[in-house]
Structure 1
Amino acid sequence: MIKPRALKEGDRVAVIAPAGPPDRKHLNQGIRVLEDMGLNVVIGQHVFDGEEELAAIDQKRLTDLNEAFCDPDIRGIVCANGGYGTAKIADMIDYEKVKSNPKIFWGYSDITYLLNAIQKSSNLVTFHGPMVASDLNEELRTKETVSSFSPLFTGETITYDSHRSPLNTLTHGKGEGHLVGGNLTLLTNGLGTPYQVDAKGAILLIEEVAEPAFRVDLMLTHLKQAGVFNEVQGVVLGNFQVEGEEYVKLRKVLQNFFANASFPVVENFHFGHCQPNYGVPLGVKAKLTTSPPLLLIDSGVM
């Protein structure tokens, strides 16, 4: 895998919105957080566009992404928020240009589709992490979420244990492989495409938000029948953001689905639609153990 260069104070980063326009107030609040890290922020020219014909807006979002990758002065690309539609531009990305201009690409939710597409098509490490408007705004952000950008500067490895969140083991064991994954809905949508997640020999990250238990069960079954779990080395489950009776149902679904897994499965990692929302690199080596629950992730930058 190709690792992008680590960030340093004074670097320029681009904020783009390939899944839909962000709230202006929240975006500005998040940009100030990036600036407090010592970064110079450039906003994509089409970040707030969203009223045009779908084909036109797809092209504009693609333009912002391509221009950010091709600009030698841009050292990182951070997505503004999630939404819908990144799958539609995946076929139009110039992956050779991405490969020849490696840089940090960071986001989650609908951005999952691009994280996997870029990783598979250009061999570039991508980053599943909190976004500018949706996670760094004054209403939601936590110091832990902000601090998860630190490894982009330091190149440090990431150790995730129960000090960060109470981890629960569903299936015991040890596993080692490259870290892949993201949002469950987007992982399912990618099945049968050139951008299907490659979980062979991997630690698979799965997160979701407010989906009913039966939908999670259906999507996990879809992944299973597509062979995604055949040679996986471990599964890390995020916080699925459900409450009350639905949470009880979801727990049963997860326990039953992974009951006879031949690989370790640990749940309640704070990745994705939650606060704190910890950023992690995808495509790098990772180790998952269950006694005690622990995930070790190599640096995503060089």
Structure 2
Amino acid sequence: MYRRDFLGGAMAASLLAFGGAGRALAAGPAPTRLLPPALRPGDMVGLVSPSSATDDSLKLQLAAEVMQALGFRVRAGEHYAARRGHLAGTDAERAGDINRMFADPEVKAVVCVRGGAGAARLLPLLDYGLIRRNPKVLLGYSDITALHCAIQARTGLVTFHGPIGAGSWNSFVVDQFRRLFLQRELLEYRNPVPDEDELVQRGNRTMAIHGGRARGPLLGGNLSVLVGLAGSPYLPAFDGAILFLEDVEEAPYRVDRMLTTLKLAGVLDRIAGFIFGQCTDCDPGAGHGSLSIEQVLDDHIRPLGIPAYRGALIGHLREQFIVPVGGMVEMDADAGTFRLLEPVLR
């Protein structure tokens, strides 16, 4: 995965920045929560590529067609189809596209075409004052976690961890998108029961790590990208938060190492609840004698004694939740659900 190319160096620098166990990952109080306007049919949606280049122009076309099929007009970023190595243009070009979308009064939402790697490189180049003055929907996941974290930390704007423009826009995702962004529904996030020929449900199961309910702002995203921001000013304050995490193609020993980093930095001791989505293709493989993901979560999360569960439809999935980063939620670990307590759009 491209994310791993920068994670090692970022992790080393971050650990030096900690200066010892229990130090906070981000300094300063959380900014006031800022809500983007709700969307309406006919609004202009901007498409940007903050991370990796898209290797097939059809994917760019599909991203535009999806937005049009949802009833929106589309404006593509100047460099969204560019390429510089594995990146979709230079850092200045990609950051400039994002800044221009937030500055453009016609654009009401910014949708990331894809993830991959490279979004963290843009964080010093984003105009956070501009973003704060022009709040609007930002949608994407995986490497886009870097943008969600930084914008939340620096502006308080609620952004949305969910499908990328070039990803699957199946009926599950489209229905959720419309209910959330157009109808402003206070959603409950509950895994649907799959249509399967089984006496008891097997697919889409959730499992409580520690039972109970908790309330707080929902923060998190892709685990490896989030940990790569440790020690920087671009990670939000996690005090009293519900932390959600997901990842893809990470061996369990790497997940263990990253959760250990969050533990040593004091993050896990400050959260009120924990939701683990999917770690897609994270099996240890035959003959490695590795801990399983379940054992890693039991080691790090269960001793916290806070409400926690795993199996939510968050992550690298065809059917995935659209999660408001910074939105106020209540989670129920026993039921394997969480719900919005307040509007996340105005």
TM range (shorter): over 0.9
2:32 equivalent to 1:4: no
Residue 293 (1) aligns with residue 336 (2): yes
Aligned residues: CA RMSD: 2.0
- What letter corresponds to residue 39 of structure 2 in structure 1? L
Cα offsets for 1:273-302 (capped at 9, x unmatched): 112122111111011112322211243211
What does residue 266 of structure 1 align with?
A: 309
Q: Which amino acid aligns with 2:176?
A: S
For 1:14, the equivalent position in structure 2 comes to: 46
Q: What are the ranges of 5 or more consecutive residues in structure 1 without an aligned counterpart? A: none
Q: Counterparts of 2:326 and 2:132 in 1: how far apart (Å)?
A: 14
Q: TM-score normalized by structure 2?
A: 0.81
- C-alpha distance in 2 between matches for 1:54 and 1:252: 36
The change in CA–CA distance for 1:53 and 1:234 in structure 2 (over 3 A counts) is closer
Asked if 1:186 is matched to 2:225, the reply is: yes
Residue of structure 2 equivalent to 1:91: 124
Provide closer, same or farther for how the CA distance between residues 266 and 9 of structure 1 changes in structure 2, counting only shifts above 3 A. Answer: same
Q: CA deviation at 1:271?
A: 1.2
Which one of 167, 192, 203 corresponds to residue 163 of structure 1? Answer: 192
Task: Work out whether residues 235 and 264 of structure 1, in 8 Å CA contact, stay in contact via their aligned partners in 2.
Answer: yes
Partner residue of 2:174?
146
Q: Tell whether the 8 Å contact from 1:18 to 1:79 is kept in structure 2 after alignment.
A: yes
> Could you give the per-residue CA deviations for residues 123-179 of structure 1, whole angstroms, max 9, x where no partner exists?
21111010011x23xxxx421122231211111112012436321111112111000
User: What are the equivalent positions in structure 2 for 1:60-209 lying under 5 Å apart?
Assistant: 60-133=93-166, 135-136=167-168, 141-150=169-178, 151-163=180-192, 165-209=204-248
Compared CA separation, residues 147 and 53, structure 1 to 2 (3 A): closer
- The residue matched to 1:63 in structure 2 has which SS? helix
Q: What count of residue pairs does the alignment treat as equivalent?
A: 297
Question: TM-score scaled to structure 1, two decimals?
Answer: 0.93
**8 Å contact kept, 1:3–1:300:** yes
Against the structure 1 CA distance between its residues 245 and 97, is the aligned structure 2 distance closer, same or farther, given a 3 Å change threshold? closer
- Give the corresponding residue for 1:210: 249
Residue number among 262, 267, 290 corresponding to 1:223 in the alignment:
262
What's the counterpart of residue 38 of structure 1? 71
Query: Which amino acid in 2 is paired with 1:142?
Result: N
Q: What residue identity is the alignment partner of 1:9? A: P
CA contact (8 A) 2:250 2:282 kept: no
Report the equivalent of 2:18: none
Give 3-state SS (helix, strand or coil) of 2:275's partner. Answer: strand
**CA 1:194 to 1:128, structure 2 compared with 1: closer, same or farther past 3 Å?**
same
Equivalent-residue separation in structure 2 for 1:105 and 1:239 (angstroms): 22
SS in 1 for 2:205: coil
CA distance in 2, matches of 1:244, 1:72: 46
Q: Which has the larger radius of gyration?
A: 2
- List alignment gaps of at least 5 residues for structure 2: 1-32, 194-203
Query: What is the alpha-carbon distance in structure 2 between the residues aligned to residue 171 and residue 267 of structure 1?
Result: 10
| 2:252/2:283 contact within 8 Å kept | no
The Cα of 1:87 is off from its aligned counterpart by: 1.1
User: Letter of the aligned partner of 2:53 in structure 1?
Assistant: P
TM-aligned CA distance change 1:162 to 1:52, over 3 Å: closer
Assess, with a 3 A threshold, how the Cα gap between structure 1 residues 87 and 166 changes in structure 2: closer, same or farther.
same
